[in-house]
Amino acid sequence: MKTSMIIAFGLVLAQSAFAAPIVTSWTNPECATGSCEVKGLKLFIDKVAAKTFSANSVSAEIETTEAKHLTKYGIVQYIKGCHYSKTPQGFVRYSIRNSLAKSVPFIHKDWEVDSGDDVDPLYWSNDAAGFDDLRGYFVPRNSGYAYANPALTDNWGSWAGKMKNLKANKIYITDMPTPSTWSISADLTQTAVISSLKFRTCVYEISKIPTAISDAKVVFDGAIGCLEWSSNYEYDFAKRKFVDMGKEISEVCR
């Protein structure tokens, strides 16, 4: 299998911020030249914002040529950047997050596996995967992935590895990182908590991803395709508004 990582930023739809998600897509070039199982990867990015917070959320879609292939593929997401608090006077401290079920400072200077509450690097993995004696079938490690796009519908649930749950040859994960927030106290002290994060969302063959890792500072070989996105909002205290910094990570995160 080709191991080259292809990152594409094809802007398919441009809509107003809240009307519809922005879609980026990657298409597997192997499908054009021969047989392939993974057809492509898409990201549906929504902005979630109010006066006191801003963030981007994502739904990631894996599409395969046949439904039966969906049990084999999953997402590993990598994260870079940091989350920290600041005042108009400057940096205060890094936040704390869960990474591989441990509390760590929320700063990732280089790409790391984004896995919060468990040690499985596969995103949204089912730790009870395997042959289920009560159910009598093999529950895949990606059984918790959604059968419908959470960015486009509220009517979604886990596909559970059951073909009859599928709407198409597609499954989904979603993510909404900790947002940037702003607050002001009674004595007019302003505080912002900044989320300056980039993500690289990659499709892998699940069997090639270990079920547990102890160090998140790893990038697995064998990504079939990847797309990047960000949730990176600075706060302008003077103008009292959030500023989308795109993929330019804050200096304090580097």
Partner 1 sequence: MKNRILNVTFCLLAFVGIASTAFAAELPWSNEWARTISIKKVAGTKLKLQYGFTKKAFLGNTFAEMNALIAKLTGDPKAFITPEYLNFYMGYEAIGFTDYAKDQGDFVIDEELQAIQAKSDAGTLVKEDFKNNRRWIHIVNAIDKEEINCIAISVIAGVTAGCGDVWQGGITDDEVVCHKDYNYLKCHVGCLNKIYNRQAEVTEGFCPERK
Q: Which residues bind partner 1 (CB under 8 A)?
A: 101, 117-120, 126-128, 133-137, 139, 143-144, 157-160, 162, 165, 212
When the beta carbons of 30 and 118 are compared against partner 1, the nearer one is: 118
Cα 156 to Cα 221: distance, rounded to the nearest angstrom: 31
CA-derived radius of gyration, the chain: 19
When the beta carbons of 135 and 217 are compared against partner 1, the nearer one is: 135
Cα 44 to Cα 13: distance, rounded to the nearest angstrom: 10
Question: DSSP class of residue 177?
Answer: P
Least distance in angstroms from the C-beta of 70 to partner 1: 14
The single-letter code of the amino acid at 206 is: I
Least distance in angstroms from the C-beta of 140 to partner 1: 11
When the beta carbons of 1 and 212 are compared against partner 1, the nearer one is: 212
Least distance in angstroms from the C-beta of 142 to partner 1: 12
Cα 104 to Cα 98: distance, rounded to the nearest angstrom: 6
185-195: string of b/e by CB count within 10 Å (b at 16+)? eeeeeebbbbb
Cα 163 to Cα 236: distance, rounded to the nearest angstrom: 49
When the beta carbons of 150 and 225 are compared against partner 1, the nearer one is: 150
The single-letter code of the amino acid at 224 is: I
When the beta carbons of 159 and 229 are compared against partner 1, the nearer one is: 159
